[in-house]
Amino acid sequence: MAIFNQNTLTQVSGFSNPIIAGELVYNQKTYWNLAFTNGTTPVDLTGATIDASIIRREVSNIVDTRNGLSFDIADYSPPPTPVSLTISNRVDATGSFTLIINEATWSVLSTDPELDINATNCVGFSGRIKVSFPAIDVTPADDSIIFLLFLVRSDGVVN
């Protein structure tokens, strides 16, 4: 898994927000098991809605620095449609669920020039997981956001 420069992550998520960032290989399938806790106590997800989506971004000026990958990220043109990610294995009582990564569903074609083995810049996506907790008694509704950032590269075999 790639290490990202903190300034790059701050571009996407801000200074103190959680983020899942990674480098994927074209057509890779993977997942992240996540659990919401308050210290060591699970946060009950009963009544909460969980939504995750990403959108294609323009990635440029990629540099592998001593502090990790550094690059600029901007809106992709023409503007693409956001892609919903699958949430599975939800267990409300333990505050846990699984975020499914199936890059094949993201509309990246094997002929995409940013997947060329010698491409200067690669395919990029950013997005978020949003867990929306309903209002309960005197506690107002609350949203927890985890930002997402993925770079997709060729494995050297496909393209």
| CATH code of the domain in which 53 resides | 2.60.40.1930
Residue 80 maps to a domain = yes
Its domain, for residue 30, covers 6-153
Q: Which pTM does this prediction carry? A: 0.85
Place of tokens 């480098």: 23
What does each of the 159 residues of the chain score in pLDDT, given as a tens digit?
Answer: 456 656 666 666 666 778 888 888 888 888 999 999 988 999 999 999 999 999 989 888 887 777 777 788 889 888 888 989 999 999 999 999 999 988 777 777 666 777 777 777 888 889 999 999 999 899 899 999 999 988 887 777 665
Q: Please give the tally of structural domains in the chain.
A: 1
- Concatenating the DSSP letter of every residue in 119-139 gives -SS-EEEEEEEEEEEPPBTTB
Report the alpha-carbon distance of residue 145 to residue 52 in Å, rounded.
Answer: 10
For 51, the 3-state DSSP assignment is: strand
**Does 69 fall in a domain?**
yes
Residue 1 within any structural domain of the chain:
no
| Chain-centre distance for alpha carbon 75 | 16
Token pair, residue 26, equals 């074209």
DSSP state of 94: G
